[in-house]
A and B are shown apart, each in its own frame.
Chain A
């Protein structure tokens, strides 16, 4: 199972990554190997097994609707590369 070059470019684009020619070739090989490894699962016959979203016992854990303090703004913005007017400043994303 080998990914095409176009597929790798598409995945990189979804991840907003710009890859060089060398990286494209390198990741194409690595991603293909990962897929190959996981494709071993395909040999199992799952026709009798219902789709499973979780192996935990089916029991919802819900919290009451109560407000509790979170981060103050200074703490949050300390993690931001740039800030302005109490907001996180990022490159333009108009599209």
Chain B
């Protein structure tokens, strides 16, 4: 069913809100020395992106589980490729 303009705008706003929440969660729980606002939605979380490591993965998985009740395991590694993927996973499973 097609969304109205208002519904589309509301959905976009809701997604932006979750993105902002997850960025803050990342910075606070992983004690990153970066302003949440400068993290790009498509920025890779690992490697050359935010340079997270495997220990951060567990911390991030537990943080997401606590906040959203959504479990992340290594079956869902695609969800850790970027912030957008992570938010997709949260929104699809919460």
Are these two chains actual partners, yes or no?
no
